[in-house]
């Protein structure tokens, strides 16, 4: 009986240390308008942003250095702004033919979505 109780307490303690993702990790990044067609548009979270840029070096623990693009830092800011608006999806709208420029727009998809449909009427 004591072993079963001890095992239960150990399992309970281990579950208390469960991983909790950062809110920005829950935002889905999409690049197709069909992915957000049934979602609520919350607004642009940044001006039109270049996807190509210079790489800078970021120092990480233990002296390891990794490259970090300007777009990578901008994406972190876009994700944070999407979360601040209550968004679930970040739509990167293509502005240039080669994807070198994108317009980041936050959307909320799922429960609580307000569908914005356009009704087109014909004369007749």
Per-residue pLDDT tens digits for 24-82:
899 999 999 999 999 999 999 989 888 876 544 444 444 444 445 677 888 999 999 99
List beta partners, residue 96. Answer: none
In a domain, residue 72? The reply is yes
In a domain, residue 70? The reply is yes
Cα 28 to chain centroid distance, Å, stands at 4
Number of domains in the chain: 1
In a domain, residue 73? The reply is yes
In a domain, residue 11? The reply is no
In a domain, residue 32? The reply is yes
Share of the chain above pLDDT 70, in %: 68
pTM of the model: 0.65
Q: How many CB atoms lie within 10 A of CB 69?
A: 14
In a domain, residue 103? The reply is yes
The whole domain housing 63 covers 21-108
Predicted local confidence at residue 99, as pLDDT? 86
Strands (DSSP E) contained in 11-99 are 28-30, 40-44, 49-50, 55-59, 65-69, 89-94
In a domain, residue 69? The reply is yes
Predicted local confidence at residue 93, as pLDDT? 94
In a domain, residue 113? The reply is no
Confidence of residue 86 (pLDDT cuts 50, 70, 90): very high
d(C-alpha 114, C-alpha 47), whole Å: 25
């Amino acid at each position: 009986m004591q072993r079963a109780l001890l095992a239960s307490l150990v399992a309970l303690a281990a579950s208390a240390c469960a991983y909790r993702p950062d809110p920005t990790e829950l935002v889905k990044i999409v690049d197709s308008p069909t992915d957000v067609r049934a979602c609520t548009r919350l607004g642009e979270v940044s001006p039109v942003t270049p996807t190509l840029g210079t790489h800078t070096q970021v120092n990480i623990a233990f002296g390891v250095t990794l490259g970090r693009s300007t777009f990578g830092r901008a994406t972190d800011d876009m994700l944070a702004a999407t979360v601040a608006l209550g968004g679930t999806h970040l739509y990167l709208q293509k502005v240039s033919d080669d994807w070198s420029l994108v317009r980041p727009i936050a959307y909320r998809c799922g429960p609580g979505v307000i569908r914005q449909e356009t009704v087109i009427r014909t004369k007749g």
